[in-house]
Amino acid sequence: MKFIKGQERSMQQILADAKAKNQIIFVDVYATWCGPCKWMDEHTFADARVVEKFNKQFVNFKVDGDTSEGQVVRNLYKVGAYPTYLFIAPEGKVLHRIEGVMPSQMLMDEADFAAKRATTN
């Protein structure tokens, strides 16, 4: 999956990008020591169906919660567990929040749910 990394851009820059593209932001808040986070990278985020859907529909942002930019995201969006996934509207409102390991189809279903929330709000 094509992720913009927290060390490359700030959350504020990602919000500006999403607003310019009129796209929802998908944020993966992870930690380098987190086993479930590694599983998601190796399995779900590597699935071709997930890659195609997320690269087309979302601005994907991956941030290590233990870094300074990760702390900003954790504080801003009240993240207390790894992994946490946030679907955020371009103006910064959280549309949907999920945590933990999930297979590809479940993540894609959650993404569809978030997209529907964006159109109804």
Q: Please identify which residue in the block is written with the tokens 């279903």.
A: 109
Tell me which residues are annotated as active site: 34, 37
Instruction: Supply the pTM of this predicted model.
Output: 0.94
In angstroms, rounded to a whole number, what is the distance separating the alpha carbons of residues 78 and 49?
Answer: 30
Q: What pLDDT band is residue 8 in, cutting at 50, 70 and 90?
A: confident
Q: What is the mean pLDDT of the chain?
A: 94
What pLDDT does residue 7 have?
80
Place of tokens 């990760």: 70
How far is it, in rounded angstroms, from Cα 62 to Cα 9? 10
Q: Which residues pair with 61 in a beta bridge?
A: 4, 27
> In the predicted model, is pLDDT for residue 121 greater than 80?
no
pLDDT tens track for 63-95: 999 999 999 999 999 999 999 999 999 999 999
Looking at this protein, which amino acid is placed at residue 14?
A: I
Residue matched to tokens 């509207």: 89
DSSP state, residue 18: H
